[in-house]
Amino acid sequence: MKRRHLLASASLALGMAFGGSAFAQGLDKVKACFVYVGPIGDGGWTYQHHQGAMAVQEAYGDKVEIQYQESVPEGADAERVLTQMALGGCNIIFTTSFGYMDPTNAVAAKFPDVKFEHATGFKREHPNVSTYNARFYEGRAVQGTIAGMMTKSNKIGYIGSFPIPEVMNGINAYYLAAKKVNPNVELSVVWAFTWFDPAKEADSAKALIDQGVDVIAAHTDSTAPLAEAAKAGGAVIGFGQASDMEAYKPSPRVSSIIDNWAPYYVERVGALLDGTYEQSDVWAGIAGGEVLIGDITDAVPAEVKAAAEKVRDDIAAGTLHPFTGPIKKQDGSDWLAEGATAPDGDLLGMNFYVEGITGDIPK
């Protein structure tokens, strides 16, 4: 009798142990790996992702191990790096640039037990691939408001990286917000065709300044455009991109968009630790805290600062959408009707300029 009781309780304990692991596959220790497109020292995009990685380490201490690789080219090389990471025991791999989209999905097919998280992409071909993004265009609307009110030449500039939807959102939101406060504003766009090449970014900024542009927004990763703007001795202003870039305060850096990835990274790695991890597609903005607007400096008059902060707060409150109709496309065809706001699907596939922007989008 006693013996039977003992056996029963033992089997119960065994069952609980197995059952527990089958239900929630929480891990005791997570190896979280990060693939960066530039060096951490870029002071922008990659730096911000690395801040997120460090926040994960801080949040979970010994329970996580962080591994990262810098300056991984987008393309075939990325697949090699991802494969090495997956073979090297990574439980979750964050690929932090748009160009890693196909390599991420290709490698994810081979390693179904490893979780893949791709930033700014839209392909989730396998159950172990999640995507995450931030509504950077909300920040662009704040910058556009400042740009439209601050420009003296009525010429504002934008350094584009690649003509992908994320960048198109940024350009159009920036222009629409500037146009709203300054109907005479003209936008010049220069395509650098790189995420990170400081010499080229600096040359692009210089070309814009030479053309009379006095407010520059950059969609590339380094501080080079701000360094170039600084040479103009206060006549040209710009914005911190991805990171606060506070070294260029108070001018030329008058405000910034800060990508705040830390909460997302901490949440995802935490979910893996406690077994609640699920495939997801996250796209948060100012309201969700993923996009922060950096301190607006005193180089901007108080009323401009107030207007920009109102745009920020209205977007956060949900009362303002940067893309609110009536908006026409560059070719004059209708996009959004009066009062309509842009559906997410349109934004994720955006491949056109809005009416008023000159120039062609390179194919």
The site for another protein (CB under 8 A) is made up of: 39-43, 47, 71, 157, 188-191, 193, 196-200, 202-204, 206-208, 210-211, 213, 222-224, 227, 247, 358-360, 362
Residue number with CB closer to another protein (39 or 325): 39
CA distances from 92 to 28, 69, 100, 362 (A): 14, 14, 15, 35
- Least Cβ distance, residue 106 to another protein (angstroms): 27
How far apart are alpha carbons 150 and 182 in whole angstroms?
A: 9
Q: Is-cis flag, bond preceding 112, omega within 30?
A: no
- Least Cβ distance, residue 362 to another protein (angstroms): 6
- Least Cβ distance, residue 202 to another protein (angstroms): 5
- Residue 121: HSE in the Cβ half-sphere, 13 Å Cα cutoff: 23
- Least Cβ distance, residue 13 to another protein (angstroms): 52
Residue number with CB closer to another protein (126 or 200): 200
Residue number with CB closer to another protein (28 or 360): 360
* Nearest of 180, 188, 219 to residue 324 by alpha carbon: 180
In the chain the beta strands, taken as DSSP E runs, fall at: 30-35, 64-69, 92-95, 115-119, 129-134, 155-160, 186-191, 215-218, 237-242, 253-259, 281-284, 291-294, 327-328, 334-336
- Least Cβ distance, residue 38 to another protein (angstroms): 8
Residue number with CB closer to another protein (166 or 221): 221
Structural tokens at position 2: 């006693």
Residue number with CB closer to another protein (304 or 357): 357
- Least Cβ distance, residue 41 to another protein (angstroms): 2
Residue number with CB closer to another protein (150 or 208): 208
How far apart are alpha carbons 65 and 60 in whole angstroms?
A: 9
How far apart are alpha carbons 220 and 227 in whole angstroms?
A: 13
Residue number with CB closer to another protein (168 or 336): 168
* Nearest of 299, 196, 305, 297 to residue 242 by alpha carbon: 196
- Least Cβ distance, residue 188 to another protein (angstroms): 5
The strands making up 129-134's β-sheet, listed across from edge to edge, are: 64-69, 30-35, 92-95, 115-119, 129-134, 281-284
Dump the DSSP string for 242-254: ES--GGGTTTTEE
